Amino acid sequence: MKDTRKFVVSVVGARPNFIKVAPIHRAFMKATNIRHGIVHTGQHYDKLLSDVFFKDLGMPEPEANLAVGSGTHAIQTAEAMAGFESYCLKAKPDLVIVVGDVNSTLACALAAKKLQIPVAHIEAGLRSFDRTMPEEINRIATDAISDLAYTSEEAAGANLQTEGWPSERIVFVGNTMIDSLMSALRNGDSGAMERMGLQAGNYAVMTLHRPANVNTPKRLKTIINLVSRNTDGLKIVFPVHPRTKQSLEKAGIGTIPSLKLCNPLGYADFVSLLSKTAFAITDSGGIQEESTALDIPCITLRPNTERPVTVELGSNTLVDPASHAFEELLTKAVTLRKRRKCLPPLWDGAAAPRIAESLDKHLS
């Protein structure tokens, strides 16, 4: 018997996409009028940044893996466009979901729209107002061609309306990354902290991957030295992104007693560590959100953020890593806990069901 349900495809390409799409897939499994599939562009192709997340998040095998791999922004975007266009011509989805702000997001939105396939953007409307960031260009361009905008915080909807979006195409649903976070916490502790010989509250977690922080060996060395000297003997757990690993080698950074370098962690292990850390140091957008939901102080090594709610609620502090202010923050970071006033609106673990319900009605 022919399947008469509408076919919706979600695109994943990089680590944050998997976290955001997993709860959406689970929500669609409960929707009777929609058949849902996942296409992996292969933007993150390392098993530690990709395969392990499918396993940890309980995601099905993707409908297709476009195997885009690494390359310049232009090469990665072009190859994802070509691969996704070919997929769509065969699979004929009724709607394409793209999430976040990576190259795969923009590439697949462009390919779908040129085939007249409607596009829904999850996490639409976020703006850092810094066009030197490749992610900001991806956000702006993806929103410009999307048909539906699902927003994770109220400021995002305001940004879209300022840019001329009609209010009926903007749906404030909350944050699917927090859906995954809450699900992981309910599943129980992974035991990562004990395996690494750590004690709750006696370590910090650090992640760095943005070119502004890691591509210049001198700047990366400054960050590492300041962190190791100003964290009062705490162990700093540092899962190292492949790009960051290359920069560490170029900077000649060897063994530092307080720094615990490790490979990128699976999702369950990372959430387990983050939930018990004293504080986080990052330049990642997702960790700003996760730390806010967990009420963990977060020091973000950037001059701006596209997630202003994390700063407004007091859990996240932006700082220049080359400044004296960064040193001061590090020395008092352990005392910064419990500053958040409340959770952001609709960060309740139910964003994905709201998206599924909305798309079910839209496609009907």
Helices (H) and strands (E) in the chain, counts: 16, 13
Give SS3 for 216: coil
What contacts 24+ positions apart, CB below 8 Å, involve 46-50? 46/242, 46/264, 48/263, 48/264, 48/265, 48/266, 49/14, 49/15, 49/242, 49/264, 50/15, 50/18
Report how far residue 256's alpha carbon sits from residue 45's, in angstroms, rounded to the nearest whole number. 29
Q: Which of 327, 326, 292, 334 has its CA nearest to residue 311?
A: 292
345 CA to centre of own chain: 19
Contact 112, 9 (CB under 8 A): no
List 25, 121, 209, 241, catalytic entry: 209
CB atoms within 10 A of CB 131: 9
Give the C-alpha separation, 354 to 179, whole Å. Answer: 11
CB atoms within 10 A of CB 115: 14
Helix (H, G, I), strand (E, B) or coil at 275: helix
Q: Residue 108 and residue 146: Cα distance in Å, rounded?
A: 11
Among this protein's residues, is 209 annotated catalytic?
A: yes
- Within 10 A of 16 (CB to CB), how many other CB atoms are there? 22
Residues marked as catalytic: 209
